[in-house]
Amino acid sequence: MMDKKTRLATAFDLELPDRPPILGGWLAAPNHIQTLTGCSEDDYWSDPFHWGLEAERVLGSDGVVTIFEPLARGSYRCVDGQTLEMRAAYTVDAVLDEIRSMPEPDEVEDQFDEELAYAEFVADFKAKQAQCGDILWCLADWRMIPKALWYHEFGYEGALTTLALYPDVYRKLIQVSAVRGRQRAMLHARAIREGIHPRAILTGEDLCSQQGPMVSPDFLQREYFHLLEYALEPLVEAGAKIVWHCDGDYRPLLDDVMACGIGGLQGFQRECGMDLTWIVERRTRSGDPLWIFGPMTVTTTLRFGTPADVRDNVTWAMDLCRDKASLVFFTSNTINPDVPLENVQAYWRAVLASAW
């Protein structure tokens, strides 16, 4: 049998490991973590990272993309009501003021101290890997790409209304974030070259709802995708495997995303048309098979199915990806407290018991 890190590295190299690897890190259910690890409620809230990692160890994860840490005791969310209210309060004028106060893209570039940033990046990465032990720290990074929609900062109404009314001003948000994203990508790329960092990285932005893109694809093609390619260029040159998170109906944007150097996909809401049956036939811009991080869905099978349904989904995904794509099992999104623990355990056990 392969060890966890070798199993993931083999899959990242588009080769067959002894069984499909399984990634974790999105267990956003303190109740399940306490049951799995035997820790008390007080124990959990004293160190959510530690106990979340211990739950992944109990389940048998080969790697983790992060460890989900709720924002406040008694919650399972990463955003609170006060933050949402602050975002909703942004007017178009307030968003414009924020944009105008930001440094220009060339200033952001000039202020970057790569050596200092890299030393801090590597120190943090090695510390997290040390905590993980034999589990691979396979860090997801949402900051290494330009940000297109900015609703996390300014709320949906404030951000998208500003985009619609003042696209020439709004452009600065994407340009500044592209420079910062490329700087972050440079750190990952350097760590990959030095053998510190795994080759696969999960990233992406929620550009789509269940009905399709939240803004015009024409706008994204004009203002966003060339900057996405610019930001990811250091990683592509380093041979990284960039896996894109795609919630909702991503079909209208998939060609544009793939053309930027993306090597894999994660998400797959089948109810939105993102069905693995046709996705596995896709190829990267260099003609390689895709890396599939998935496809266990938290909106249907894991939430409403039976343990038998979960096991059947694991078998279905393996059969579908065989000889077509490199499969790394992962969930479509966070596992919330309403997902039955017996289904969570059935999922991990089915993958651990599988073999190619």
Residue 78 has pLDDT above 80, yes or no: no
CA angle 159, 160, 162 (to 5 degrees): 70
Residue 13 has pLDDT above 80, yes or no: yes
Q: Quick count: other Cβ atoms within 10 Å of Cβ 307?
A: 16
The pLDDT tens digits for 254-302 are 999 999 999 999 998 999 999 999 999 999 999 999 999 999 999 999 9
Residue 209's pLDDT is 95
Residue 74's pLDDT is 83
Query: What are the backbone angles phi and psi of residue 291, rounded to the nearest 5°?
Result: -90, 125
Q: Which residues in 36-53 are b (16+ Cβ under 10 Å) and which e?
A: bbebeeeebbeebeebbb
Residue 293's pLDDT is 97
Sorting pLDDT into bands at 50, 70 and 90, what band is 88? confident
CB 170 within 8 A of CB 92: no
Rounded to an integer, the average pLDDT of 79-101 is: 89
Residue 36 has pLDDT above 80, yes or no: yes
Residue 304 has pLDDT above 90, yes or no: yes
CB 290 within 8 A of CB 325: yes
Cα 90 from Cα 159, distance rounded (Å) = 8
At how many degrees (to 10) do helices 81-88 and 151-165 cross? 20
Residue 83's pLDDT is 78
Residue 182 has pLDDT above 90, yes or no: yes
Residue 81's pLDDT is 74
Residue 22 has pLDDT above 90, yes or no: yes
Domain ranges of the chain: 1-75+129-141+263-356
The token pair at 297 is: 């869905």
Residue 123's pLDDT is 98
Q: Quick count: other Cβ atoms within 10 Å of Cβ 212?
A: 16
Sorting pLDDT into bands at 50, 70 and 90, what band is 145? very high
Amino acid (1-letter code) at residue 225: F
Rounded to an integer, the average pLDDT of 166-171 is: 97
Rounded to an integer, the average pLDDT of 58-86 is: 88
Share of the chain above pLDDT 70, in %: 100
Q: Look up the pTM and report it.
A: 0.95
Residue 72's pLDDT is 85
Share of the chain above pLDDT 90, in %: 94
Q: What is the DSSP letter of 272?
A: G
Residue 82's pLDDT is 74
Start-to-end Cα distance in the chain: 12
Residue 85's pLDDT is 82
Residue 86 has pLDDT above 90, yes or no: no
CA angle 75, 80, 81 (to 5 degrees): 120
